[in-house]
Amino acid sequence: MSLFSILLVEDDFDVREALVETLRDRGYEVESAGDGEQAMQLLRAGARPGLILLDLMMPRMSGSEFRIAQKEDPALSDLPVVLLSADGRMEERARALKVEGAIRKPIDLDELFAVIERVRKIGSPGSPGSPGSPGASGSPGSSASKTDA
């Protein structure tokens, strides 16, 4: 029960399975969903992950549609979300959707683990947008992925 739980919402089967395996190997408890609709069903059935890793571009219910529905549900609105996307306007979308972070695809695993640990240390935020650092939404990914050594 001391494992940090993550809900990975990703429509690409190969990416989803590779990330699930990588995250579990790293010691996280991971559930996955193939789209926002499936993720919403898991959450409404009682799943309460410490973090939701959310792809933006998905069929049935996109990441943006999922986030809007999540924020409107008082039982789910405080669950932290980090976007995963190759979208060129990801940082802008991250700010608009009020998420805890954004990671550009292809995913840099060091950046992913750093963001997960930052969210884990914050714990269950009592209010939306509680990451303490200014620029916590999106900008860590911008600079972290550029470091070479």
> Is the pLDDT reported for residue 140 higher than 80?
no
What's the angle, vertex CA 93, arms to CA 129 and CA 44, rounded to 5? 65
Instruction: Read off the pTM.
Output: 0.82
> Is the pLDDT reported for residue 110 higher than 80?
yes
- Classified as helix, coil or strand, 5 is strand
In this structure, the strands spanning 101-104 and 5-9 are unpaired
In a domain, 89, yes or no: yes
Distances (CA, A) of 98 to 2, 16, 39, 46, 64: 27, 23, 18, 23, 11
Lowest mean pLDDT among 68-77, 95-104, 115-124: 115-124
Domain count, the chain: 1
pLDDT on residue 2:
59
In a domain, 92, yes or no: yes
Range of the domain at 130: 5-144
